[in-house]
Amino acid sequence: MILLVLLSFIIIIISNFVMILSMILSKKSLKDREKCSPFECGFDPKSSARNPFSLHFFLITVIFLIFDVEIALIFPMIYTFKMTNLIVWSKTIIFFLIFLLIGLYHEWNQNMLNWTN
């Protein structure tokens, strides 16, 4: 046990030393004005280089990913239907579906399901 703690401590010290050494020897400048400005064939940019990001689109994407995870969790429950006790399986699936419905109600209550405002 002591050997494991000692080796972990040595690994942490060596990795921190390498990270600090790489930061010291790095030639990157965080405040390089030329690298921060957009390049348009040597001319001054006509508009902002940053496009506005739709936060609502991001929220819809997160909801879709959560839906995918929910489906990935429901499929094994369907497969184990014949192999487990019906009462335990029913309680588990009902609890899981109620939990998902509460999440859906919360999303609906927060108007996250409306595509346009």
The more confidently predicted of residues 54 and 10 is: 10
Q: With beta carbons less than 8 A apart as the criterion, state whether 114 and 57 touch.
A: no
Q: Convert the pLDDT of each residue in 42-68 to its tens digit.
A: 666 666 656 677 777 787 788 888 888
The more confidently predicted of residues 58 and 93 is: 93
Q: Convert the pLDDT of each residue in 63-79 to its tens digit.
A: 888 888 888 888 888 88
The structural domains of the chain, with segments of one domain joined by +, span 2-27, 55-109
- Residues 6 or more apart whose CB falls under 8 angstroms from that of 77 comprise 89, 92, 93, 96
pLDDT at residue 116 greater than cutoff 80 = no
pLDDT at residue 12 greater than cutoff 90 = yes
Average pLDDT, the chain: 81
pLDDT at 57: 79
